[in-house]
Structure 1
């Protein structure tokens, strides 16, 4: 079925504005599909474009910041929280950082064409499994304009064609950024449609993107739990579930308590709004009252509010503790709040994690090797940390360079998604006339 016939049949009963929005999404997806079928760029061509794009962003930063100011003004007029305004805001320094991300991607190895494995069969067939692009990559994300450029850079280097559906709150910023990227592509004899920004006036355009089977190969949501759940449950296109993080840190009786305390505080306070922030601290019941109190008062001194079963902490002489409800064990706070639970050893800790984890990052502080082995064997998460902070779950920190997100699913990719995770594979089988008996 042609795209136009799909639009006609699907648009029955829609308003003119809604039909036009759907038509735009499908038309852009069709153009992206055509670009994805062009002969692939060489690694040198990709890197040249990435470096030129980085230079262009810096050179045109005044244009970017002017557009960003419009988004900030509109956000304040709508009563947007200042923490979200900060995520939206661009500065000369942040633009430099975004450009630096493109330069970093240019320095990374090109995954396309890598041989994952290969063999020569007894019958003489030569078999190679090689990395290939995923194709048309839909990105649905919230109010961080840097994601626009990150997605472009990672998609270009991995041979994919991105369709970007950012939020309305960053509409002017994203439009300016994509316009600059398209100008660079055109200057290097590449189609402007190598990166495209989708309409964001209504939430319906997300549904148009994530149900465009045959045009879009994969969709990746990046944002809060509501956005991710809406995309994953509503998509008919394959979707990669990324990163809500109800991350736990278990402090075992064998832990170096000073070290474990530093790790818990770092995981909670370094950046409380990110998905790798520690949201629950589990304390072994065998820890002394002094050690338990040390962990918790250090968190309080850092400005963190404790949520706990008040009876469990009754002997620690702590003030300002909020009585926990069931929601606290499930919550990804994104703020200076942390849930506290006293557990009876590593088995109880893993039971609690198993019940409430989102599969992102789980951590333990312990010196007993038997305890750490039990924890790593029985905790199911994309990343399991031993005597280190949950904050390390990050593509750059893992040595991958930039990342498109952190996958919490189990198919295709799990954990920080760098360039190799933005590829699929195909088998190339070379023979000399063999026929199968």
Structure 2
């Protein structure tokens, strides 16, 4: 369909191609075609991203992978936070900006965790560390968090849950567990919201909003190419402008450099 549209528009139909072979043999070959390809944007799991970063002769934009967190601060409006957490997890769990880990301040955990358990009952499986699990007793689909669970991008109806002492511990957890994509804080504290914004190195950071907003169309960029989690040059949702580069042009009247 895309090739047909290109052809009708008078553009080379072969400029868009589909690789049908599911293994990565052809990907390995593609990564070496720097004479023909200007940029690689891998869309897939962590293994594909790692392979491209380590083997490509072509600039690679890494995006679409990262553990997404929501931290519920002790100052948050807990009732309104329920809607944001549910939306971040349930609306489209297979998306790269869906919620993977819920962090809850210890001062409100005893109140909030039973509330979120009731809201997500029958919708989500919970994976909890001991403090959180003790407050989720009675939840039907609950298990202990094991090694690697808080490093897992679930892409499913599974949610990790952890109780933390404060915003500093939440930030520390996020730094250890690959918070690089979309992360949010629920808070009514300006101090804590600014600390979160300035300390979290994710491509998209939210205050009192769903992680599901990380999207090119939502940000007014038009069609989204990818969500970049790199430091340079494009971060977050990428549209056409982020795919383009520039050059310096100097025009003069036979001017030597002084």
> Could you state the TM-score of these two structures normalised by the residue count of structure 2?
0.93
Within the alignment, does 1:183 sit opposite 2:3 as a pair? no
Task: Give the CA deviation at 1:332.
Answer: 0.5
Q: What does residue 126 of structure 2 align with?
A: 306
**Runs of 5+ unmatched residues, structure 1:** 1-176
The 5 Å alignment of 1:32-431 reads 177-185=1-9, 188=10, 190-198=11-19, 200=21, 202-287=23-108, 289-301=110-122, 303-320=123-140, 321-431=142-252
Q: Which has the larger radius of gyration?
A: 1
Task: Give the CA deviation at 1:192.
Answer: 3.6
Task: Give the CA deviation at 1:278.
Answer: 0.4
Distance 1:193 1:183, change over 3 A: same
Give the distance between the partners of 2:152 and 2:12, measured in 1 at CA. 44
Task: Give the CA deviation at 1:266.
Answer: 0.3
**Runs of 5+ unmatched residues, structure 2:** none
1:358, 1:408 within 8 Å by CA — same for their partners in 2?
A: no
Distance 1:209 1:309, change over 3 A: same
Structure 1 SS opposite 2:225: coil
Alignment size in residue pairs: 257
Deviates more, 1:263-272 or 1:213-222: 213-222
Task: Give the CA deviation at 1:387.
Answer: 0.3
The alignment yields a C-alpha RMSD, in angstroms, of 1.8
- Relative to its length, the structure with more helix (as a share) is 1
Structure 2 SS opposite 1:307: strand
> Could you state the TM-score of these two structures normalised by the residue count of structure 1?
0.56
Task: Give the CA deviation at 1:315.
Answer: 4.4
Task: Give the CA deviation at 1:289.
Answer: 1.6
Task: Give the CA deviation at 1:358.
Answer: 4.2
Distance 1:282 1:288, change over 3 A: closer
Task: Give the CA deviation at 1:196.
Answer: 3.6
